[in-house]
C-alpha cells in the first residue's frame, strides 16, 4: 500500500512529505525559495501577488456572503447618490454602527465602495455592479447554491440531493403550487439576465442576410426583442412551452409556436434558429436529439446559433469552469460545454461550416454557429 493510500485509511498516520513534481512547482513549494523571493525587489512583487491570490481563494466564501449582505441591505443602492456616514446608514439597515462599519469596510476592500473617513460612497466597481441587469437577483438567489455546497466533498462525490435540482422546476410549475413572489422574482431574474446575454451575443454574431429567425426555448422573448431592436426588418418567431409563449411580451407580428422540443419536430420556415442558454440546461442525449430536430427544421444553407456560457475546455475559464460548471452540476440536468464539444455535437448532427467566435465574453455568452449544407436534398 502506498503512503497516500495508508494515509487515506489511517488518518492518525502522519502525512507523507510534500514533494511536488516539476522544477517550478518545487521552487514554489520551497520555504527557502519564498524567503529568497521576498528579499529580491522584482521577485517580491510576484511573490506578494501570488500570495494575495491564494488568500483570495481561501476567503472567497466570505466575500460572497459580504456581497449578499450588501445586496440584501441595498447598501450599494443607498450609496449610489453620494457618500453617507456609518451613523446615518445604521438606523436605515437596523444594524449597530460598529458592525455596519466592518461590513462597509469589507465592501471597500473588495472595491465596491470607497471610504472617506467615517463615510462611504459607491466605487466604480460598485456602480458597474448595479448597472448589470439581473446581477443583484443572481446574488440573492445564491443562498440555494451555497447550501448545496455546504459539504463540497459529498457534493462532488454525488452523495447529496442538491436543492437547486428542485428549485427551477418548483419556480416554473413542475411541482405544483408555487410562491407567487418567488416565481415573479426569478422570472424577472431570467428576463433581465437574458437581455444581458442577448446584447453580448449580438456583438459576436451577425444576422445580415437572414430572412426569418426562430428562437427555440426563448422564454419571454428577451433575445427576440434585442434582435428586433438591431435588425428591425427580420421576421421573428418564438418556440417554447405553450404556457410560456402565451405570456411573452412580444410585438403582434412575432409568430408564436407552443410545444416541447423533446416531443417532436420543430416548426419549419426559419432560415436561422437560435438556442440561447438552452444546451447547457440539458444532458448530451437531449442535446443530440434537439440538434437533429434543428437540422431537420432548417433549409439548405440555414444557420443555427448556439449562445450560452462555455467552458474553456483545455484552457479552463476562471468564470465558467468555476461558476457555471458547478451550478449546472447542482441542477443535475445539464453541463457547461466547451466550444470544441459543442462543435462536435453540431458536426454529429450534420452541420457544416462550424464557426467558434471569440472567447472574450464566454462568462456571459459564448457563441458558436453552424450551417446546414447548401447541397442537402
Reading the block at residue 145, the C-alpha cell is 447554491
pLDDT > 90: percent of the chain: 55
pLDDT, tens digit (0-9, with 9 covering 90-100), for 331-341: 888 899 999 99
Q: What pTM does this model have?
A: 0.78
H helix or E strand, kind and range, residue 184: helix 180-202
* Residue 5 pLDDT class (50, 70, 90 cuts): very low
**Average pLDDT of the residues of the chain:** 84
| Predicted confidence (pLDDT) at residue 4 exceeds the cutoff of 50 | no
Alpha helix segments (H runs only) across 114-238:
124-131, 135-148, 152-157, 164-171, 180-202, 222-230
pLDDT score recorded for residue 142? 85
Which residue from 292, 286, 351, 339 is spatially nearest to 314, judged by alpha carbons? 339
- Of the given ranges (48-57, 305-314, 323-332, 348-357), which has the lowest mean pLDDT? 48-57
Q: Which residue has the higher pLDDT, 189 or 320?
A: 320
Sheet holding 84-85, edge to edge: 84-85, 119-122, 113-116
User: What average pLDDT does range 41-55 have in this prediction?
Assistant: 67
Q: What's the pLDDT tens digit per position in 257-285?
A: 999 998 889 999 999 999 999 999 899 99
Rounded to an integer, what distance in angstroms lies between the CA atom of residue 162 and that of residue 144? 9
pLDDT at 318 (0 to 100): 86
pLDDT band at residue 244 using 50, 70 and 90 as cut-offs: confident
Span 160-191, pLDDT tens digits: 999 888 776 644 555 444 566 665 666 666 76
Percentage with pLDDT > 70 across the chain: 79
Element (H, E) at 338: none
**What confidence tens digit (pLDDT) does each residue in 115-151 have?**
999 999 999 999 999 988 778 888 888 888 999 999 9
pLDDT of residue 34: 56
HSE (side-chain half, CA atoms, 13 Å) at 287? 24
Check residue 165 and give its pLDDT.
Answer: 84
Residue 377: what pLDDT? 60
Instruction: Give the cell for residue 10.
Output: 489511517
All structural domains of the chain, each given as residue ranges with its CATH number in brackets, are 60-131 (1.10.10.10), 202-371 (3.40.50.150)
Q: How confident is the model at residue 22 (pLDDT cuts 50, 70, 90)?
A: low
Amino acid at each position: 500500500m502506498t503512503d497516500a493510500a495508508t494515509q487515506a485509511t489511517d488518518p492518525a498516520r502522519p502525512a507523507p512529505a510534500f514533494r511536488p513534481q516539476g522544477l517550478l512547482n518545487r521552487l514554489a513549494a520551497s520555504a527557502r525559495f519564498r524567503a529568497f523571493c521576498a528579499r529580491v525587489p522584482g521577485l517580491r512583487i510576484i511573490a506578494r501577488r501570488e500570495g494575495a491570490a491564494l488568500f483570495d481563494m481561501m476567503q472567497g466564501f466570505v466575500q460572497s456572503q459580504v456581497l449578499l449582505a450588501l445586496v440584501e441591505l441595498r447598501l450599494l443602492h443607498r450609496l449610489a447618490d453620494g457618500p453617507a456616514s456609518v451613523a446615518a446608514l445604521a438606523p436605515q439597515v437596523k444594524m449597530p454602527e460598529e458592525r455596519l462599519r466592518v461590513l462597509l469596510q469589507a465592501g471597500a476592500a473588495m472595491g465596491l465602495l470607497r471610504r472617506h473617513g467615517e463615510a462611504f460612497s459607491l466605487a466604480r466597481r460598485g456602480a458597474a455592479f448595479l448597472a448589470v441587469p439581473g446581477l443583484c437577483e443572481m446574488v440573492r438567489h445564491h443562498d440555494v447554491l451555497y447550501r448545496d455546497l455546504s459539504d463540497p466533498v459529498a457534493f462532488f462525490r454525488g452523495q447529496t440531493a442538491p436543492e437547486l435540482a428542485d428549485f427551477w422546476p418548483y419556480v416554473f410549475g413542475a411541482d405544483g403550487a408555487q410562491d407567487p413572489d418567488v416565481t415573479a422574482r426569478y422570472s424577472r431574474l431570467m428576463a433581465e439576465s437574458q437581455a444581458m446575454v442577448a446584447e453580448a451575443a449580438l456583438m459576436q454574431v451577425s444576422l445580415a442576410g437572414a430572412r426569418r429567425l426562430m428562437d427555440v426555448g426563448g422564454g419571454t422573448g428577451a433575445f427576440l426583442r434585442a434582435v428586433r431592436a438591431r435588425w428591425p426588418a427580420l421576421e421573428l418567431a418564438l418556440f417554447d412551452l405553450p404556457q410560456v409563449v402565451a405570456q411573452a411580451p412580444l410585438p403582434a407580428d412575432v409568430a408564436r409556436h407552443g410545444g416541447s422540443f423533446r416531443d417532436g419536430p420543430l416548426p419549419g420556415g426559419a432560415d436561422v434558429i437560435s438556442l440561447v442558454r438552452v444546451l447547457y440546461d440539458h444532458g448530451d442525449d437531449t442535446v443530440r436529439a434537439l440538434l437533429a430536430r434543428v437540422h431537420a427544421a432548417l433549409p439548405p444553407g440555414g444557420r443555427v446559433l448556439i449562445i450560452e456560457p462555455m467552458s474553456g475546455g483545455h484552457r479552463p475559464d476562471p468564470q465558467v469552469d468555476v461558476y457555471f460548471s458547478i451550478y449546472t452540476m447542482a441542477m443535475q440536468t445539464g453541463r457547461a460545454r466547451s466550444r470544441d464539444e459543442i462543435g462536435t455535437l453540431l458536426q454529429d448532427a450534420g452541420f457544416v461550416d462550424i464557426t467558434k467566435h471569440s472567447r472574450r465574453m464566454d462568462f456571459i455568452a459564448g457563441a458558436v454557429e453552424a450551417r446546414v449544407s447548401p447541397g442537402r436534398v
